[in-house]
Amino acid sequence: MSLIPSWFGGRRSNVFDPFSLDLWDPLKDFPFPNSTSLSANFGENSAFVNTRIDWKETPEAHVFKADLPGLKKEEVKVEVEDDRVLQISGERNVAKEDKNDTWHRVERSSGKFLRRFRLPENARMDQVKASMENGVLTVTVPKVEEKKPEVKAIEISG
């Protein structure tokens, strides 16, 4: 039973059902994701936009941490290019749709993501290690040990 018909979008609303309200989204045609629009164009970009990665430098290494909830290590790829570029990529697959299902809200992103970082000269590209635990990818890039200048004491004569 509809108390307020919706002229926009062909869906009818019920003021007593919070999930059936048609919300006007003034930003729906702009090329960035938001929580109320479900445009097919956003599927490829939303996972890319939402992949957050922290990069910290310690005295021993550069450490990258990426939040990738719901992904298995087989779905993530970590690569190193010759010109000191670290690339983290993967794909989050869309859940299978059943024609009988009624979706009220879809906010989890899906699609491919790709992040690239140019590493500094002190990165040891041949010793990069990656691990994944509880949906957090950790990539560790050791640093070249800095040679400390050798100090030699000179005896003063006289």
Any idea where the domains of the chain sit in the sequence? 53-93+110-142
Collapsed DSSP state (helix, strand, coil) of residue 118: strand
Work out the pLDDT band at 158, boundaries 50, 70, 90. confident
Fold classification of 53-93+110-142 (topology level): Immunoglobulin-like (2.60.40)
Collapsed DSSP state (helix, strand, coil) of residue 51: coil
Q: How many residues does the chain have?
A: 158
- pLDDT reported for residue 34: 45
Residues 87 and 114: their CA atoms lie apart, in Å, by: 7
Residue 94 has pLDDT above 50, yes or no: yes
- pLDDT reported for residue 130: 97
Output the pTM of the full model: 0.61
Residue 137 has pLDDT above 60, yes or no: yes
Q: Which residues contact 116 (CB under 8 A, 6 or more apart)?
A: 85, 86, 87, 88
